[in-house]
């Protein structure tokens, strides 16, 4: 019998591409993937290389769990690259729901886009190597009804168009009156407003894109404006405006070392005291 208190685990916190380097040992080099576990249900947000660790964890420690719900923000590589290496997908007996926005381009569906990376010439696995039962669910972005997951959890979503060229879905998981908002790959120079600010307001845990130091975002040479990512001051401003209880900086630029991230944290705390660095394999009970 598992305890029913929910827990959040960061499994990949990096943006753009994975990093294998001693300088990032503490906070981690895997790309975006986070896990929420409550009782017998698992919810995963994004399937960057961090999801590989989640697969290993399920295979070793939670063999009783066979139904998984994976919510993708968008299809950029750093958010799906772990899927062909995610053991439950390659194993019989799992039922995996993969939720995303519709793709709707070139007559391709989200399913086609995802299966591309399992097939030639990208991978030797091929679609036949997928042994789990997978349901590809394209979310209706006009539907505002949260999706019930089980164990008293539900997931709501909202489209945000600040990320080129496809936009992303921002997700909000709610359970027992508490909420986690996952807002990555967003660029918000003026701060979130209107329905988006309403959507994220009051989050107990706000996980927010913080790809750049302000000085790099605004740099005279190679500025990062328009890349679809936030500076640290955008993240803290949104946390403040939304009256979030805690803010976790996320989706760090691959160039930043652990030390630099700690400097970023100090900058953030000057404006929003309850800021933390998302850290690979760190468990947060909430």
> Is 15 near Zn ion (CB under 5 A)?
yes
12 contacts Zn ion (rule: CB under 5 A): no
User: CA-based diameter of the chain, in Å?
Assistant: 57
- How does DSSP assign 56-112, residue by residue? HHHHHH-TT--EEEEE-S---HHHHTTGGG-GGGGSTT-EEEEEE----BTTB-HHH
Segment near Zn ion (CB under 5 A); pick from 63-71, 72-80, 118-126, 267-275? 72-80
State the residue for tokens 């790959």.
Answer: 185
Please state the closest distance from residue 60 (CB atom) to Zn ion, in A: 28
- Say how many residues touch Zn ion, by CB under 5 A: 4
Among 38, 76, 172, 224, binds Zn ion (CB under 5 A): 76
Residue 23's CB is within 10 A of a number of other CB atoms, namely 14
Q: Smallest distance from the beta carbon of 185 to Zn ion, in angstroms? A: 4
d(CA 240, CA 134): 39
- DSSP helix/strand/coil, 194: helix
Q: How far is the CB of 92 from Zn ion (least distance, A)?
A: 31
- Specify the stretch interacting with Zn ion by CB under 5 A; choose among 6-14, 180-188, 218-226, 270-278: 180-188
**Region of 54-62, 73-81, 172-180, 262-270 interacting with Zn ion (CB under 5 A):** 73-81
> Closest separation between CB of residue 1 and Zn ion, Å?
37
The answer to whether 97 touches 43, Cβ cutoff 8 Å, is: no
Give the span between the Cα atoms of 3 and 40, in whole angstroms: 9
Smaller CB distance to Zn ion: residue 78 or 253?
78
**Contact range with Zn ion by CB under 5 A, out of 57-65, 110-118, 146-154, 179-187:** 179-187
- Among residues 185, 187, 253, 280, the one that binds Zn ion under rule CB under 5 A: 185
Q: What is the DSSP letter of 223?
A: -
Q: Contact residues for Zn ion (CB under 5 A)?
A: 15, 76, 78, 185
């Amino acid at each position: 019998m598992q305890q029913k208190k929910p827990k959040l685990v960061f499994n990949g916190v990096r943006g753009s591409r994975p990093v294998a380097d001693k300088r990032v040992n503490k906070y981690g080099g895997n790309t975006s993937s986070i896990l929420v576990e409550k009782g017998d249900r698992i919810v995963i947000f994004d399937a960057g290389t961090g999801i590989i660790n989640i697969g290993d964890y399920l295979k070793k420690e939670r063999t009783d769990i066979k139904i998984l719900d994976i919510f993708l923000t968008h299809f950029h590589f750093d958010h799906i690259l772990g899927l062909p290496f995610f053991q439950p997908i390659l194993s019989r007996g799992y039922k995996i729901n993969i939720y995303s926005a519709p793709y709707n381009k070139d007559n391709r569906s989200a399913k086609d886009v995802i299966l591309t990376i399992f097939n030639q010439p990208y991978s030797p696995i091929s679609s036949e190597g997928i042994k789990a039962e997978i349901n590809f669910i394209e979310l209706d972005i006009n539907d505002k009804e949260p999706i019930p997951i089980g164990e008293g959890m539900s997931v709501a979503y909202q489209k945000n168009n600040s990320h080129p060229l496809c936009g992303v879905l921002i997700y909000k998981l709610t359970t027992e009156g508490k909420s986690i908002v996952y807002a990555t790959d967003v660029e918000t120079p003026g701060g979130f407003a209107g329905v988006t600010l309403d959507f994220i307001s009051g989050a107990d845990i706000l996980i927010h894109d913080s790809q750049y130091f302000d000085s790099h975002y605004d740099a005279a040479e190679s500025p990062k404006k328009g890349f679809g990512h936030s500076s640290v001051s955008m993240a803290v401003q949104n946390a403040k405006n939304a009256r979030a209880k805690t803010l976790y900086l996320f989706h760090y630029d691959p160039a930043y070392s652990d030390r630099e991230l700690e400097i970023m944290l100090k900058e953030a705390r000057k404006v929003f005291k309850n800021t933390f660095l998302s850290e690979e394999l760190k468990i947060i009970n909430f």
